[in-house]
Structure 1
Amino acid sequence: MRLSSPIWSRGPLVGLLYFAAWLVLLNYVAPQWMISPGLRFGALLLARPRYWPWLIAGEWAAHLLFRVGSAEDAAWLHAFITNDAAAVLVVGVCIAILRRFGLKATLRTPEDVARMLAAALITAFVNTLLCCTLSNVIHAQMALQSLGSVIGSELLREYLGSLLVVPIMIMAVREPPERQEIARTLLEALFVLLPTMILLLVMLKSSQPLPSFARILALVPVLLFAFRNGWRGAIFAMVLINGGMMAFTRVDLNQFPSTESLLFLAVAGTGALVLGAASDALRRSSRRLSIQNARLEGANRRLDQLARQLSEVARRNLRTEEQQRRYVAAELHDELGQNLTAIQTRVKLAQTRLREAGLSDVATSINDILAHMRAAVRRLLNSLRPTVLDEFGLARALEEGPVRDLLKTAGVDYQLHLRGNLQDLDEDTRITVYRVVQEAATNTVRHAMASRFVLRVLSGRRNGRRMVALDMRDDGVGLGGDHTGSGRRSGHGLQSMRDRVAALGGILRIHISENGTRLRILLPASGREH
């Protein structure tokens, strides 16, 4: 069970820790960085406003203790009022105002980095300007030109302190690195930063102009770490390289660097931090894209599996339908056909007696009815399961079968063009091709009022797969000729064609114009099943 401290005790604890950090930093002097203003900006940025009084009290207590212990005269009070006491209040007011404009303690995106650095620069400018102006008014120590130079130098050093400290605080409190990222950064530091630092230190110990080149070359590993390890890597490289250069070279702590050097560090650090945030954002986007791609691939696999299952179910349904058609056709042929033959035989046997009884017209009428019934049964059998398709194959069924008879009887000119081998197609494809052509021809006869029906069938390979292409055209009135408004041509017949084509994974396209209707179908096929 995890124990948490009461809310009322967190404020004093935060203030005490902040007080201790200030005591340490007040005794630390760095020519290039003002660490303590960075600590102030980061603490007020990360802490909730209810902890701010404790932070202010901790900083004031640290400054008072430091001023009293190191003061040589009574001027420490003026220094405390003009520099120490006012600074934390000014920074707090600036952060409170900037939070209303979207300032957040995060560095996840380049926009967040730019917003945070802009806030640090604005806060440093306001704080430096106010403190230097107030100190100069009280003491009247320097001319206006010298005051501007001091403000610029102090502004850059305070900004550099925020540039260095605030990302470290955000990384420690809000956005800690992952273990893999820490291991990768340390490994690259061993093989990249360490040799680079040795080279830079050798250059710094040499005569001019190598030290100037060394400071410029120090930017290279920082940018490299920013690109490869994000803004955390950029901060790590900046701290390590600058700390190493200060530790292993003789630096006069009372001799501050030039404004040009500070400006170079500010620009380089800002660019490295923005580049690191951009690299982090790019990697997060890549990971999200990879996850989305993996999900899409999984969804596509499931959809493909469902599509295969649906296609297989549709194929089974079509096979079941064809089996039922075959069964019904066999029953009609065996039962109804035999009975019609028996009736016709008995009528022939009774013709003599009917003629003697003066009823020869009855026998003739019965024979006509039987002939009509036999023709109707033959058409029904051909519609259910044409024997020519089983006996002679698909090509012969299209050339001489019921499709041609249907069109010829209706006075429609039938033109057939076959290319490729249709004999070795599997049964599902053969039946689908024949049924689609049969349905299209039936629609042409019944609804199109056409005078010509053209069928082209092409069997071949496309991209290594066996395909069958159908192109059917008529010169009728098209679907627009359906004046009933019921859409009969686009109703059950067309839906049946779509279902059959979809069951085989094919494509059906319909083009209707004033010159007629055109249907194009592309079907995948395989060899005949044995």
Structure 2
Amino acid sequence: MSKLRRAVVPARGHHREKGVYVQREWLKKEFHLNLRISSSGVVLALVYAMLFWATRQMSVDQFYLPAGLRVAALLLCPPRTWPYLIVGEWAFFAQARFHLIDQYGLAWFVLASALLMPTVAAIVSLHRRRLAAGNPAWLLSIAALSAVAITALNQGLAYLLMPTLHDAVSWMGVAKYIIGDYLGILIFAPAALLWKHRHHLPRPTAGTGMMAVATLTVIGVLGVTAMQLPADDLLAKSSLRIAMLLPAAALTCMYGWRGAAISVAGLNLTIGLTLESSGLPGSFDPAAFMAQQVLAVTGTALLLLGSTISRYYRQFNAHDRLGRQAASLVRTAHLASEESRKEQALRMQTIGEDIDRSLQMAADLLKQRGYLAPAMDMLRRGASQSRLFREQISLVYPSDIEYAGLYVALQSGGVAGAWDATDRVARPRFSGDPCQLSLGLQLAAYRSLVDAVGVMLKHESGFLRVRAHCGRRGDSQGIVITVALLDPQRTLTAQTVARANEVLGGRALAYGGNPRCRRNRLRLVLVETRQPYRVPSGLSIDQITPRAVL
């Protein structure tokens, strides 16, 4: 029994050790516990601490740059490096407040130095997904919540842990600190977010850079001019500071969120650097504080306007890109259909040549046997049938268009014979050089003109007039097609208009136009760029296969 107990006890200990090991591995895997300290993280903490010290030296209570640096660092750095930022900020406060421990106590020294950065980090973490979704307007929520939270912590800890400063805690001080932190955030945070999303934005052009430089120059000149005015000329100073909003608004309207981020940062920085400061803690400029309140509201409005403009611009670009893709697909389908018709016409051409050769052989055989009259009659009938057959082939695919152009194909192919047979189509009037257009556009114009005349012949009575004009304008080239009733007093029926939109609408949209029916005419514009789309290549039907002997 004792041996059995001794055997069981180690087994239980073994299972207990194994369970603890499994639990430890689960914790490490689930929460990614990693206590290694990287050298790059230490460098990041040191750099952040030095930048925090530098921006604090240039700040006053109503214009607090470290608040903006704190949010910008959290936006630019991945969450795994946030602990180093927290350590860097705490290190700065620790060395700056160490000599005040005897005066205010250890609790104030620890809490007032260690709570600020984690609080803002939590706020930024809650907004990361919304910012990643492409809506920069949530940055204003980060700025407002951070300014309110940091001011509440500072003032609350000062009231609770610094009894000698109870009188310094006031609503005026709270408003001053909130606006100072908020404006400081609006300087660095939009620029940081702009830099972080730079790969998802259109590449700035030279004109964009020049406009941004010009705007910042105007803002800077106005700010320096306001600073040079006498101290008692408050109206002129406030007017110049408010005038700085005009170029900022213009840049926002032109470039959306990007313009708002640049202009608002320039506004805040210019006004902040031109504040009259005594260099002592609590330095305050009452005259500039009113302008800063207006600037806080206006900067918020500009950023909201810029984000709205950018969002609608992205939506417009997305719809425009989808429209171009749809038009390209329609053009590709049209060209594939023309290629299929071309192959079908080639097969029909081969069949026609075989028929012509068979008739020629039969006629020669009749001539050899002395039947000259039947042979000649067979040749005449064969020539007539061959011509009609070729006209039908040209209706399937107009081969003349590949080497002679659109107008020749319309005047010499089967379309001309079909129009003449109706006795309702006047002699067409063509102008311009269609050979300057791509083959794809000429084929689209050919099919559109044939369909338009067919719709008019079917749903309208009376004679028709057909016109076409080719031309260029800038980087675009195209053709204008008009099919009209000869009687100017008549108006197209609703059935004709509806059918024309159904038949011609898709092809017209693929080439940047749409059919328009006004009074007695149907008008269609087809346009392409100077770099035409690829079209069915290769030799024409008549270059591949010689004309029939008859």
Sort the TM-score into its range (normalised by shorter chain): 0.5 to 0.7
- Which residue is 2:262 aligned to? 236
Of 380, 404, 426, 1:460 maps to 426
- Which residue is 2:299 aligned to? 269
Q: Deviations over 1:90-111 (max 9, x none)?
A: 2233334444xx344x6x94xx
Q: CA separation in 1, counterparts of 2:290 and 2:256?
A: 27
From the superposition, tell whether residues 80 and 41 of structure 1 become closer, same or farther in structure 2 (CA, over 3 Å): farther
1:500-511 aligned within 5 A: none
Of 249, 253, 258, 1:227 maps to 253
Q: Report the secondary structure of 2:87's partner residue.
A: helix
Gaps of 5+ in 2: 1-35, 392-409, 431-445, 460-506, 508-546
Whichever residue aligns with residue 9 of structure 1, its letter is S
Q: Does 1:164 align with 2:187?
A: yes
- Which residue is 1:12 aligned to? 42
Q: Report the secondary structure of 1:131's partner residue.
A: helix
Q: Does 1:119 align with 2:142?
A: yes
From the superposition, tell whether residues 261 and 212 of structure 1 become closer, same or farther in structure 2 (CA, over 3 Å): closer
Whichever residue aligns with residue 59 of structure 2, its letter is V
Q: Deviations over 1:118-166 (max 9, x none)?
A: 1232233233224322332334678899644433332222222222122
- Which residue is 2:103 aligned to? 74
Q: Deviations over 1:288-313 (max 9, x none)?
A: 67777776777676666555554444
Q: Does 1:36 align with 2:22?
A: no
Whichever residue aligns with residue 93 of structure 1, its letter is A
Compute the displacement of 1:221 (Å): 1.5
From the superposition, tell whether residues 319 and 433 of structure 1 become closer, same or farther in structure 2 (CA, over 3 Å): farther
Q: CA separation in 2, counterparts of 1:311 and 1:193?
A: 61
Q: Deviations over 1:414-471 (max 9, x none)?
A: xxxxxxxxxx96364588899xxxxxxxxxxxxxxxxxxxx95544356748968597
Compute the displacement of 1:58 (Å): 1.5
Q: CA separation in 1, counterparts of 2:144 and 2:237?
A: 29
Gaps of 5+ in 1: 1-5, 343-373, 395-423, 435-454, 474-504, 506-528
Q: CA separation in 2, counterparts of 1:103 and 1:290?
A: 25
Is this contact kept in 1: 2:127–2:138, CA < 8 A?
no
1:287-302 aligned within 5 A: none
Is this contact kept in 2: 1:326–1:384, CA < 8 A?
no
Is this contact kept in 1: 2:275–2:285, CA < 8 A?
no
From the superposition, tell whether residues 281 and 271 of structure 1 become closer, same or farther in structure 2 (CA, over 3 Å): same
Is this contact kept in 2: 1:136–1:142, CA < 8 A?
yes
Whichever residue aligns with residue 90 of structure 2, its letter is W
Of 109, 112, 115, 1:83 maps to 112
Larger Rg: 1
- Which residue is 1:129 aligned to? 152
Is this contact kept in 2: 1:11–1:54, CA < 8 A?
yes
Is this contact kept in 2: 1:319–1:428, CA < 8 A?
no
Of 408, 412, 416, 1:426 maps to 412
1:431-450 aligned within 5 A: none
Q: CA separation in 1, counterparts of 2:164 and 2:37?
A: 47
Whichever residue aligns with residue 210 of structure 1, its letter is A
Compute the displacement of 1:279 (Å): 4.8
Q: Does 1:61 align with 2:91?
A: yes
Whichever residue aligns with residue 11 of structure 1, its letter is G
Is this contact kept in 2: 1:33–1:157, CA < 8 A?
yes
Is this contact kept in 2: 1:457–1:469, CA < 8 A?
no
Whichever residue aligns with residue 412 of structure 2, its letter is D
- What percentage of aligned pairs have identical amino acids? 20
Is this contact kept in 2: 1:235–1:273, CA < 8 A?
yes
Whichever residue aligns with residue 217 of structure 2, its letter is L
Compute the displacement of 1:41 (Å): 2.5
Compute the displacement of 1:82 (Å): 4.7
TM-score by length of 1: 0.56
- Which residue is 1:152 aligned to? 175
Whichever residue aligns with residue 322 of structure 1, its letter is G
From the superposition, tell whether residues 90 and 331 of structure 1 become closer, same or farther in structure 2 (CA, over 3 Å): same
TM-score by length of 2: 0.54
Which deviates the most, 74-83 or 17-26?
74-83
